[in-house]
Structure 1
Amino acid sequence: MNPWLEKHMPAPMAAPETAALRAARVRLIVALVALGAMTAFWPVIAGRVALGVFGGLAVFIAVQGIFWMRAKNTADDDYLMSRMTDDDGDGLP
């Protein structure tokens, strides 16, 4: 990290990405790109199969997105809380 950025942002914004979180993020991006491509070329590919694939991708994106966001938020919270010291807390048990 460059010194200027370290000075203005001393704490990391998120936990390091694990292989599982990276794979989930890549799956989500690929599904979103595929859904966007299907939307862009819908007049050419319209039909029952395309509608089924479109619906399946939409459901996959919703489910994968929820699981990825929850796992990422949990990892970030665990990482940031593990870096706190006793004097950083607010006195709560």
Structure 2
Amino acid sequence: MRRFSLATCLTTLRASLARHLPVPLAAPESVGLAAARRRVILALLLLAFIGLGADALCAWSPLLTAGLVAGTLTFLALQTPLWLRAKARADHEWLMREPGEDESDD
């Protein structure tokens, strides 16, 4: 009987992706894009922690809970599209660069 191995499955998937997608999926990340990505991830984590502790937080201060949720959702609604647009633009420029261009020219 053959056992399912997650490591084998992931190795096969990685080899298949490398074979079918020979170009990088993303441009090297700049300092600004990395900071924006981290801000989005931290806001999502904050929203998750607020959701996990919503009952206790709401019992302690419903107004604070509503403010935290509204502020976090507003931040995500503004930051995420800006980051995605900048990331898509950087990826497009990276993929459409001239073949002879030096990658260190920024």
TM-score relative to the length of structure 1? 0.79
Map 1:12-23 to 2 at 5 A. 12-23=24-35
AA paired with 1:39? Answer: G
- After superposing on structure 2, the runs of 4+ consecutive aligned residues of structure 1 that deviate more than 4 Å are none
Which residue of the partner structure matches residue 27 of structure 1? 39
Measured in 1, the distance between the counterparts of 2:73 and 2:98 equals 37
Measured in 2, the distance between the counterparts of 1:79 and 1:68 equals 16
Measured in 1, the distance between the counterparts of 2:78 and 2:99 equals 32
Q: Which runs of 5+ in 1 are unaligned?
A: 86-93
Measured in 1, the distance between the counterparts of 2:99 and 2:91 equals 13
Which residue of the partner structure matches residue 37 of structure 1? 49
Which residue of the partner structure matches residue 64 of structure 1? 79
Which residue of the partner structure matches residue 7 of structure 2? none
AA paired with 1:17? Answer: E
Change (3 A) 1:83 1:10: farther
Flag the structure with more relative contact order, 1 or 2, with Cα contacts below 8 A and sequence separation at least 6. Answer: 1
Which residue of the partner structure matches residue 76 of structure 1? 91
- Please state how far the C-alpha of 1:56 moved relative to its aligned partner: 0.4
Q: Which runs of 5+ in 2 are unaligned?
A: 1-14, 101-106
TM-score relative to the length of structure 2? 0.70
Task: Provide the alpha-carbon RMSD of the alignment.
Answer: 2.0
Measured in 2, the distance between the counterparts of 1:40 and 1:10 equals 41
Which residue of the partner structure matches residue 50 of structure 1? 65
AA paired with 1:69? Answer: L
